[in-house]
Amino acid sequence: MASGEYAVVADGLVKRYGQRHVVDGVDLAVPTGAIYGVLGPNGAGKTTTLRMTLGIIEPDAGTRRVLGTSHPREAGDRTGYLPEERGLYPSMSARDAVAFMGALRGLDWRTGRARAAEMLEGAGLGHAVDQKIRKLSKGMAQLVQLLGAVVHRPELLVLDEPFSGLDPVNQERLEALILAERDRGATILFSTHVMQHAQRLCDRLAIIAGGRRRFEGTVDEARATLPQQVHYVPNDPASEVADMLPPTAVRSGEGWRFELPREGIEGLLRRLIEAGHGIKGLSIERPGLHDAFVRIVGQTGSDTPAEQIA
């Protein structure tokens, strides 16, 4: 691809704190107009990678190019950023908070306040336009801050763990806002460790573990790193069925689950039918992104607890 086809390019980013490599040679290439996810367990180096990409902190090695410039801060007014640490002035109204964040990116105050009211209404927060931030729930305040990051209509929107702490209703609202920004023409770069959002939203993604990039590609390509799974339910649930299935087969409800054999499923099904077990139910499914993520991260030898990658 030509350089203009990428909104963000990072090559070999490194960040050290003392003897510890928080980020150790990460590459990113975010296509213009795409939704791109940076996935990884807590402590993987996602936030540091995003901050280096935006020029908030300087890398110890490596280069980055944002919206055509190798000096990311020069693209600041064309970029929107939602940091992991949320922060709004509690005495401001929701409308003024959004307009203020736009003003920091060069948007005039009057236009910002007009857009803010319209955007708050569209996000289901019309009733809160003139409410003080301190009066809003955490989820509502987080949506206000996101609107502040996009009110100036940036070309690039960077979101660090945007779904953290949100209830399901506000998670859906946030997903809708992200999709609306993509449809407007913005490029979206966000980090998360929650796979369900990445699976629904991402055009491409990178998986980071231990400060290094372990995978880059589409959701389907990530899922394809694992074999397809067969769920077989026989008409006859006699114990002899298990003897005919692959050794990895495990019970699942009325049937069994096992990896799709390399030679395919046809021969096995023929033998099961000939033996009189029949087929009451059969499905062949590709594992989800969560399973692929756990496998890819696990291959790095990460000792991250399972609950941090759920």
Amino acid at 218: T
Residue 59 within a domain = yes
Residue 290 within a domain = no
Q: Is residue 131 within 8 Å of 55, Cβ to Cβ?
A: no
128 shares a domain with 178? yes
The owner of tokens 């691809």 is 1
147 shares a domain with 258? no
233 shares a domain with 191? no
Chain center to CA of 21: 23
264 shares a domain with 214? no
Q: What is the DSSP string of 241-297?
A: HHHHS-TT-EEETTEEEEEPPTT-SHHHHHHHHHTT---SEEEEEPPPHHHHHHHHH
245 shares a domain with 181? no
Residue 78 within a domain = yes
Other Cβ atoms closer than 10 A to 146: 25
Residue 165 within a domain = yes
Residue 301 within a domain = no
Residue 294 within a domain = no
**pLDDT tens figures, 58-93:** 999 999 999 999 999 999 999 999 998 878 899 999
Amino acid at 186: A
Cα dist. 272→258, 266, 278 in Å? 15, 10, 6
176 shares a domain with 242? no
Structure token digits, residue 242: 């298990």
pLDDT value at residue 43: 87
Q: Is residue 179 within 8 Å of 120, Cβ to Cβ?
A: no
- 68: number of CA atoms within 13 Å, CB side? 4
Cα dist. 87→19, 142, 193 in Å? 31, 9, 21
Per the model's pLDDT, the better-predicted residue between 236 and 128 turns out to be 128
Domain count of the fold of the chain: 2
240 shares a domain with 219? no
Amino acid at 123: A
Please, which residues have CB within 8 angstroms of residue 302's CB and are 6 or more apart in sequence?
Answer: 41, 209, 210
Mutual angle of helices 94-104 and 138-150, in 10-degree steps = 30
Mean pLDDT for 108-120 is 96
Q: Of 4, 35, 27, 2, give the one whose Cα is nearest residue 211.
A: 27
Which domain CATH number covers 209?
Answer: 3.40.50.300
187 shares a domain with 213? yes
- The helix/strand/coil state of 57 is coil
195 shares a domain with 50? yes
**Which of 30-44, 226-240, 288-302 bottoms out in mean pLDDT, i.e. has the lowest?**
288-302
Residue 156 within a domain = yes
pLDDT confidence tier of residue 253, bands split at 50, 70 and 90: confident
| Cα 107 to Cα 142: distance, rounded to the nearest angstrom | 21
Q: In angstroms, how far is the first alpha carbon of the chain from the final one? A: 34
236 shares a domain with 209? no
Residue 304 within a domain = no
85 shares a domain with 188? yes
Q: Of 169, 165, 157, 182, give the one whose Cα is nearest residue 105.
A: 157
127 shares a domain with 213? yes
Q: What pTM, to 2 d.p., does this model score?
A: 0.83
Structure token digits, residue 197: 């959002």
pLDDT confidence tier of residue 37, bands split at 50, 70 and 90: very high
- Domain range for 246 is 229-285
